[in-house]
Structure 1
Amino acid sequence: MNEEIDMTRIPRHIAMIMDGNGRWAAERGKPRSYGHQAGVDTVRRITAECTRLGVKFLTLYTFSTENWSRPADEVSALMGLVLSSLEDEIFMKNNVRFRVIGDIDRLPDDVQQKLRETEEHTAGNDTMTMVVALSYSARWEITQAVKRIIDERDPALHPLKMHIQPFHVTEDVISSHLETSFMPDPDLLIRTGGEVRVSNFLLWQIAYSELYFCDTYWPDFNEQDLHKAIADYQRRQRRFGKTEDQIENENQSE
């Protein structure tokens, strides 16, 4: 059964924790890499559907800094999948711009080069921006942002700038130094696979995001599942700390 969604209220930015690839493969007696490959096919389908619906930003949690502790063969297979999935078709066919966030310097050289090439090649696409979080964790990101702020105000590095003072550090300043400074915060965060946690993903940015968890493993997540998540999002009232009466008055004045 398809969920009815309001096409005038599509989330501008959807973030996804694509969980369940390994368990999906294990239930079929296959290695974890088999599940990751199936997950890439899901990425293609969901990307195409998000562009059709009018989503402007799609951020995918692909490989966390914690994932470096996984078995070497699985990490190697995942890096190979990253290379094979960065093909022109998924981006050029859907007019999608590609961006990457994370500790990219830890990735193999050939992966880094392919990421840069894909970013450059798709820079002119403007229907949607797909952001892939690779070697990423939110605590790492926030730590890096603080370091950048301090460096910019360090007289030893920048003699013409004053030493940083507490009043220099505002929410806007921190946001502008995050990996995601080029895009709005997520409206909706979806996690597949049955786990109910955010796993160190976009901790700063999801402060007011709507969270949606489902049991479906990522390889089985389809367009109907996406519609169900968006329909659930649209049934919620986003108050951002305001009362229901305040929201209603604001809506009436528009």
Structure 2
Amino acid sequence: MQMCLRLPTTSPLPIKTVISSSNHFSSLKLCSPQNKIGDKQNISRYRLAATSNSTANAGFDDLKSAIQLPGDLRPEIIPKHVALIMDGHGRWAKNRGLPIEHAHYAGVQKLKQLILNCSQFGIKVLTVQDLRFSVIGDKSSLPQSVQSTISSVENSTKTNTGMHFLMALSYGGRYDIIEATKKIASKVEHGILRAEDINESAFEQQLLTNVTEFPNPDLLIRTSGELRVSNFLLWQLAYTEFYFPNKLFPDFEEADLIEALNTFRGRQRNFGGRNK
């Protein structure tokens, strides 16, 4: 399974990633200074910390288990790529009179379970707004220490054949499209590509999601009932089926994921064509 994560930037979020084919895991944590909680703009204030494999194995030994589909779901109708916008942390905390950090911690626990669920259900790609590990986004805007950690984990997992975890960090859909356009223009300028050869396929190869075998989501899930994509994977969502449950992300359960998959099963996808 491949997974892309767009991180909430307001509290620590541990991410488990497969480091070898023998179910050893390394943990990454995006940490914000305690006196800077809520500062969503200055990404340079955040650090990415790595922990040892021995502390990160618990609960993830089932990632390589056989596909286990619930109910009457069948492998042929399971989406290859699911995108997830984890929304509702602030409201969840407010409803309970808790600090936002508590909501993000609860969200982390849900995310860990969803990773296992998606792997067990045979989903190949999970893109989570904000395991082979890759980061897509403007890495140059991140602190050098974060860039070094990212590079190390990417290199350590690049030959893995199981779950692929794409983390969208300092990423935006418009940024992705603009950067792809610059790459296309440069290739034309240097005679590598002819203008008449520019098409959707050529353009898509320049997008940051080209690192995955299935770059375009089949299904987008945004929790909390908000009906928007918030500048996330704008090109890639062109023919994606959307599902907007009212549940806040920290309350999102395995049963809710199954309901989303059942809803997807009932959709008639035409990829821009007309239904017959």
Question: Residue 139 of structure 1 corresponds to which residue in structure 2?
Answer: 174
- CA distance in structure 2 between the partners assigned to 1:3 and 1:199 by the alignment: 33
Q: What does residue 221 of structure 1 align with?
A: 252
Distance 2:93 2:167 in 1: 22
Q: Is the 8 A contact 1:51 1:127 kept in 2?
A: no
**1:131-174 Cα shifts (integer Å, max 9, x gaps):** 1111111001000001111122324xxxxx26x66423211111
2:236 is equivalent to residue 168 of structure 1: no
The answer to whether the 8 A contact 1:3-1:224 is kept is no
Pairing 1:233–2:269 present: no
CA drift at 1:117:
2.2
Corresponding residue for 2:33? none
**CA shift for structure 1 position 9:** 1.5
Superposed CA offset, 1:48-81 (max 9, x none): 111111111111111xxxxxxxxxxxxxxxxxxx
CA displacement at 1:243 relative to structure 2: 4.2
Question: Which runs of structure 2 are paired with 1:235-250 in the superposition (5 Å)?
Answer: 235-245=266-276
* Residue of structure 1 equivalent to 2:17: none
Distance in 1 of aligned mates of 2:145 and 2:91: 29
TM-score (norm 2): 0.69
Residues 179-223 of structure 1, C-alpha deviations (whole Å, 9 max, x = no match): 011332111011011100111111111111101001111111121
Q: Cα distance, 1:128 vs. partner?
A: 2.3
SS of alignment partner, residue 5 of structure 1: coil
Give CA-to-partner distance per residue, 1:75-117, whole Å, 9 cap, x none: xxxxxxxxxxxxxxxxxxxxx2122111122122332222222
Determine if contact 1:148/1:177 at 8 Å carries over to the other structure. yes
Partner of 1:148: 183
| Partner amino acid, structure 1, of 2:132 | R
User: After TM superposition, what 4+ stretches of structure 1 lie above 4 angstroms from structure 2?
Assistant: none
For the pair 1:54 / 2:122, whether they are aligned, the reply is yes
- Tell me the alpha carbon deviations over residues 21-60 of structure 1, each in whole angstroms, 9 at most, x when there is no partner: 1221222222222222222222111001111111111111
How big is the alpha-carbon RMSD for the aligned residues of Structure 1 and Structure 2? 1.9
AA in 1 matched with 2:224: G
SS in 1 for 2:211: coil
Query: What amino acid sits opposite 2:172 in the alignment?
Result: S
SS in 2 for 1:99: strand
Q: Which amino acid aligns with 2:112?
A: R
Distance 1:107 1:36, change over 3 A: farther
| In 2: Cα distance, 1:217 partner to 1:200 partner | 20
How many positions carry a matched residue from both structures? 205
Structure with more helix by fraction: 1
Task: Return the alpha-carbon distance in structure 2 between the equivalents of residues 220 and 205 of structure 1.
Answer: 27
Partner of 1:115: 150
SS in 1 for 2:208: coil
Residue in structure 1 matched with residue 48 of structure 2 by the alignment: none
| 2:138 aligned partner | 103
1:207 is aligned to 2:238: yes
Match of 1:181 in 2: 210
Q: What secondary structure, in the 3-state scheme, does the structure 2 residue paired with 1:180 have?
A: helix
Displacement, 1:244?
4.0
Q: Following TM superposition, by how much is the alpha carbon of 1:227 offset from its aligned partner in structure 2, in angstroms?
A: 0.6
Q: Distance in 2 between matches of 1:213 and 1:55?
A: 19
Aligned partner of residue 123 in structure 2, secondary structure:
coil
Query: Displacement of 1:228 after TM fit?
Result: 0.6
Structure 2, unaligned runs of 5 or more? 1-69
1:5 aligned partner, one-letter code? L
- State whether residues 137 and 168 of structure 2, in contact with CA within 8 Å, keep that contact through their aligned partners in structure 1: yes
Matched, 1:195 2:195: no
Q: Find 1:16's aligned residue among 84, 107, 113.
A: 84
Amino acid paired to 1:141: D
Gapped regions of structure 1 (runs ≥ 5)? 63-95, 156-160, 246-254
Q: Any idea what SS the aligned residue of 2:127 has?
A: strand
